Amino acid sequence: MASSLLRRKVSSLGVSGLHGIAKPFSVRSESENVAVVSVSNVIRQFSRSKHYRNVDFTTSSSNSSKFDCLDLTHPHTWYPNARRKERKIFLHMGPTNSGKTHHALKRLESSASGSLKPNNGVGFGMYCAPLRLLAWEVAKRLNKAKVPCDLLTGQEREEIEGAKHKAVTVEMADVTSDYECAMLGCRTRGCSFTRALLGISADEIHLCGDAAAVPLIQDILSVTGDHLEVQCYERLSPLVPLKVPLGSFKNIRTGDCIVSFSRRKIYELKRQIENGRKHLCSVVYGSLPPETRTRQATRFNDESSEFDVLVASDAIGMGLNLNISRIIFSTMTKFDGIEERELTVSEIKQIAGRAGRYGSKFPVGEVTCMDGHYLPLLHTSLKASSPTLEEHFVENAKLSASYFISDSEEMMKVAAVIDQLPLSLQDKYLFINSPVDMDDAISAQGLTQFAENYAKRGIVRLREIFIPGMLEVPKSHTELKELESIHKVLDLYVWLSFRWESSFPDREVASTQKNICSS
């Protein structure tokens, strides 16, 4: 069992709860008369008060200053390098399969020749992706086009000799160096994309997304002095909404993609389709390791492969290049972590639009549902305009209308555990920004043990929590979920090792075990 690979065990699967941690504390610095206050207490203190405006940060009795910590009305001023540059911002706006990303990437490739304005050789171009998988795809594409490109994500660093380009996840975007050209994909990760949009110091920045984002981006950039140009695209291949539902699984055909929103349902659909003995199914969903998703997608795209049907979650809506003939919604509702709700217009369009990839074996896309009950919602949504993006902001913070405070709920879950450990504020901040899923008991236990061991000894050996060499092929849904959780723990160790290399020295072992996990 995957859970038995962790030396401390989780709930009924064998992993203990998050307990045994020291009581809250306050430490005074020996060099300064300053109290080190826990991270989550600080956040709670300011988020709960409706009256905080000016806060004293006193370093000594003779040196006191006031700082309005809630005045966030001028975030563009936080990036002086970008403000000193005369940037040109190109918005490539349009639906899926409209060629917007292709045109932006071509411009990114052309910067390799130095054809754009010289930048003293600091860097030619950078692609900022919402997914690690997309960063991998672009790095691969650029290198194949003889444009040396490094890959930089929270968990991977692949350096190519002579590379002046970078393909990164958006959180890793460099806002300190100068570039000729930068490309963003504006879909999710709002706070990271806002930082990249305001902070990247590039002569040209290209953004790809839906036209609904244009008014918001125009408003955000109205105070930066940047030159803004909007380029609109139409879908290159037709998308045909069918008038009849799928009906029986006997009507499944090569190139179909059945969309569902739970791991269990995805595998149930896969089994039902394969029981007909006409098709084999690849699967793609969010909690699969990126390496596994890549292999599954590649297998589905390969015309010589027997795996000719895809069963997937809405993870396919994030720009994966898939040769899909027909999208079939198994349901038009999903649980969003709070409630079961209908899919939004934007979600339906984003998923449905993956059918009929231009230039592929299936240039005409079709979309339908398994159940005819959902057809009216599907047809209405595809005809509707995408709603203009709006922003809401926290009551206490003074923000301009274009911004909102990013959701810190996940950070708070980590902070509730990390706060009670004898760590510096800087160390705590790094832990709460780590890629941990605190709703996953095994992943949360891994983070807790890593932090506890780091606080006690300053060094964390992987073998203290994980037993290498005992990974097995899962034989049930429970074991599959546990294996995905183990992968998250190994992924977290690799991420931490890139930040604290001497304190997390077993990166190579963790990477090897992670690869075994994904395969």
CA 373, 374, 380, 382 dihedral sign is: negative
Torsion-angle region of 99 (φ positive above 0: left; ψ -120 to 50: alpha; else: beta)? left
**Whole-angstrom distance, CA of residue 26 vs CA of residue 182:** 44
Say which CATH superfamily domain 239-383 falls into. P-loop containing nucleotide triphosphate hydrolases (3.40.50.300)
Query: What does the alpha-carbon distance between residue 359 and residue 24 come to, in Å, rounded to a whole number?
Result: 60
Question: Which residue's structure tokens are 């958006």?
Answer: 170
Residue range(s) occupied by CATH 3.40.50.300 in the chain: 75-232, 239-383
Q: Show the beta-strand stretches assigned E in 161-219.
A: 165-169, 178-185, 201-209
The backbone torsions φ and ψ at residue 222, rounded to the nearest 5 degrees and listed phi first, read -65, -20
User: What pLDDT, on a 0 to 100 scale, did the predictor assign at position 391?
Assistant: 55
Asked if residue 296 lies in contact with residue 322, where contact means CB atoms within 8 angstroms, the answer is no
Q: Along the 519 residues of the chain, how does pLDDT read in single tens digits?
A: 444 445 443 322 222 222 222 222 222 223 323 223 334 444 344 333 333 333 333 333 444 445 565 677 788 989 999 999 999 999 999 888 888 988 999 899 888 654 444 444 445 899 998 888 888 889 988 999 899 999 998 888 899 998 989 999 888 899 988 888 888 866 556 788 889 999 999 999 999 988 888 888 898 899 999 999 999 999 988 999 999 999 999 999 999 999 999 999 999 999 999 999 999 999 999 888 878 888 899 999 998 999 999 999 988 877 677 899 999 999 999 988 778 999 988 889 989 999 998 878 888 999 999 999 999 999 999 998 877 665 543 344 566 677 666 767 788 888 888 888 888 888 888 888 888 888 888 989 899 999 998 998 888 998 877 777 778 888 888 889 999 999 999 999 999 999 898 899 999 889 888 888 888
CATH code linked to domain 420-518:
1.20.58.1080
Contacts for 215-221: CB closer than 8 Å, 24+ residues apart: 215/388, 215/389, 216/388, 216/389, 216/390, 216/391, 216/402, 217/89, 217/91, 217/186, 219/401, 219/402, 220/76, 220/194, 220/402, 220/403, 221/89, 221/197
Q: Tell me, what's the pLDDT at 211?
A: 83
Query: If you write DSSP's letter for every residue of 251-316 in order, what string do you get?
Result: G--TTEEEE-SSHHHHHHHHHHHHTTTS-EEEEE-TTS-HHHHHHHHHHHH-TTSSEEEEEE-GGG
Q: Which amino acid is at 161?
A: E
Q: Which pairing describes strands 27-28 and 35-36: parallel, antiparallel, or unpaired?
A: antiparallel
Six token digits for residue 127: 């692609």
Class of domain 75-232: alpha beta
Q: How far apart (Å, rounded) are the C-alpha atoms in residues 102 and 108? A: 10
pLDDT at 189: 64
Cα distances from 484 to residues 8, 192, 297, in angstroms, run 17, 26, 18
Consecutive H or E run containing 142: helix 132-144
Rounded-to-integer distance, Cα 372 and Cα 75, Å = 48
Q: 18: helix, coil or strand?
A: coil
Q: How far is CA 7 from CA 249, 438, 478, in A?
A: 44, 18, 19
Q: What pLDDT, on a 0 to 100 scale, did the predictor assign at position 319?
A: 66
> Virtual CA dihedral for 336, 340, 346, 351, nearest 10 degrees?
80
Residues of the chain with CATH 1.20.58.1080: 420-518
Residue pair 177/201 in contact by the 8 Å Cβ criterion: yes
Q: Which residue has the tokens 């029986």?
A: 248
The conformational region for residue 238 under phi > 0 = left, psi -120 to 50 = alpha, else beta, is beta
